[in-house]
Structure 1
Amino acid sequence: MRRRIVLTTVLAALVAIGLFGVPALLSAYLVARRHARRLARPLERLSATARELGDGDFGIRACRAGIAEIDSVGEFLDSTGERLDDLLRHEAGTVTVTVRDAGDVLAVDIAGEGEGIRAGADVFDRRSPGARGTGIGLALARPLAEAAGGRLRLTRPVSRSCLLLRSCRISVRG
């Protein structure tokens, strides 16, 4: 009799697990799969944008994903593409782009072989004297970089070569 009660109780527990546990696990699996797809698609699009940018399509723009961390990287790619496009239009000679890990930031060094910048010139000042073009490119680029948590600065101001460092702080909220 006692053995029968134990078997009945165990069987009832197994049925309860089957009725409630399996659907709960299946629901959790489906929700996780949906969230993974929600993250994977924007990351795949961002990866494709980075690949296009790396292949020389500086007019490519990243789609907004609605996920702050992905969007900040997309804004960085957009800004970098715009700067490179600008640089290639106005720079003479070879342009070298180097991406490097600078601790907790991603740094992009852009070097050109143009005329250089004369000593004392503020290239980040809108329409600085002696500037070619409209004079607003770098004046707008710096606040945009800072708004995205990065910075834009001139590291070698004089000579035939000019080097700009653009860094992007990518933070992950956890």
Structure 2
Amino acid sequence: MFKHIKDSQITISELMKPMYSNFSGKIHGGYILNLMDQIAFACASRHSRHYCVTASVNKVNFLHPIEVGELVTLKASVNYTGRTSMVIGVRVESENIHSGEIKHCNSSYFTMVAKDDDGNNVPVPGIILNSKTAIRRFSRSITRQEHAKKRSENFKASSFKIEEHLELLKANNVKIEFS
């Protein structure tokens, strides 16, 4: 079974209140991450028609701070489908409601896994790629997974060779002391 990407997309907007701010008066990054996880869950559940859990979150860069009083809009879309997992792309934008200025605050990728009532992984529908953007996003997810697997293999404790990395460390703010 295959589904169109647009059939699972979700958009939510929320006004940022003072209660969501951190000590510097900006909206707390943890609150935004919570909203991102919620919308990723909603999108994945809509697509799979099952309860979904977050398996991983790939790289969250906070590009611009979000101010109290701004309207935050989160958009989620299925970028990739595996057998039981999906990569949900989440984009966060903030809007100054006085000026209308919109800022892209961050984007991230949530890997979500569909579960049955007993907590077992269940197959998910595939997605229909009907645009250049959809093909690019799907391909990017495959490449990101391959890079993550390679990174894990390169730094596995059982096979890590310290000599291969000492030169890399010299150019960084680090001091090595073995006891």
Structure number with larger C-alpha Rg: 1
Higher relative contact order (CA 8 A, sep 6+): 2
Fold in common (TM above 0.5):
no
> Higher strand fraction: Structure 1 or Structure 2?
2
- Report the TM-score, using the length of structure 2 for normalisation: 0.26
- Report the TM-score, using the length of structure 1 for normalisation: 0.26
